């Protein structure tokens, strides 16, 4: 079911998104991440020592899950940048979004910033069932 713009914008303001990756043999990896949403694009970061980065480098396919009872799912690929080459001020945007929870040590020379390139989007809406 497609989300309308208001629903999508609301879900894209959540604090945490879940990132799913897998290696070439299909072994999945899931982790919560911080992200920013800017001008219709989703951006996130991860360190190049993480399983998520290793999976992305090996198999550039990702899935993002935003929400709970109303959920926004995104499948796609990513393009990655070193911070100095990133076309958006990612670190500043994280500070703006996460405030005092943010720490500059979260982004180092080992960090890559990822731009999500969606190939499929879908919403999922929880509906209470009366099973009687």
From 132, 90, 127, 87, select the one nearest 111 (Cα to Cα): 90
Task: Say if 84 falls within a structural domain.
Answer: yes
Give the C-alpha separation, 116 to 108, whole Å.
Answer: 20
- Provide mean pLDDT across the span 125-131: 65
The CATH number assigned to the domain holding 38 equals 2.30.110.10
pLDDT at 127 over 70: no
Task: Say if 130 falls within a structural domain.
Answer: no
Q: What is the pLDDT of residues 69-125, one digit of tens each?
A: 788 899 999 999 999 999 999 999 999 989 888 888 888 889 999 999 999 998 887
Q: Give the tokens for residue 110.
A: 């080992």
Count structural domains, the chain: 1
| Domain that residue 96 falls in | 5-125
Task: Say if 54 falls within a structural domain.
Answer: yes
Task: Say if 103 falls within a structural domain.
Answer: yes
Pairing mode of beta strands 28-33, 35-38: unpaired
- pTM of the predicted structure, to 2 decimals: 0.87
Exposed / middle / buried, residue 103 (Cβ in 10 Å: 0-12, 13-18, 19+): exposed
Contacts with 53 (C-beta within 8 Å, 6 or more apart), sequence order: 46, 47, 112
- Provide mean pLDDT across the span 37-42: 91
> Can you give the pLDDT at residue 132?
57
């Amino acid at each position: 079911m497609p989300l309308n713009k208001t629903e999508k914008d609301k879900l894209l303001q959540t604090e945490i998104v879940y990132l799913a990756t897998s290696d070439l043999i299909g072994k999945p990896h899931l982790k919560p991440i911080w992200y920013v949403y800017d001008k219709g694009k989703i951006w996130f970061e991860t360190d190049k020592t993480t399983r998520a980065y290793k999976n992305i480098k090996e198999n550039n396919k990702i899935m993002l899950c935003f929400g709970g009872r109303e959920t926004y799912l995104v499948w796609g690929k990513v393009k990655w940048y070193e911070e100095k080459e990133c076309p958006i001020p990612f670190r500043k945007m994280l500070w703006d979004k996460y405030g005092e929870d943010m720490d500059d040590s979260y982004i180092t020379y080992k960090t890559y910033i990822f731009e999500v390139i969606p190939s499929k989007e879908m919403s999922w809406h929880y509906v209470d069932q009366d099973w009687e």
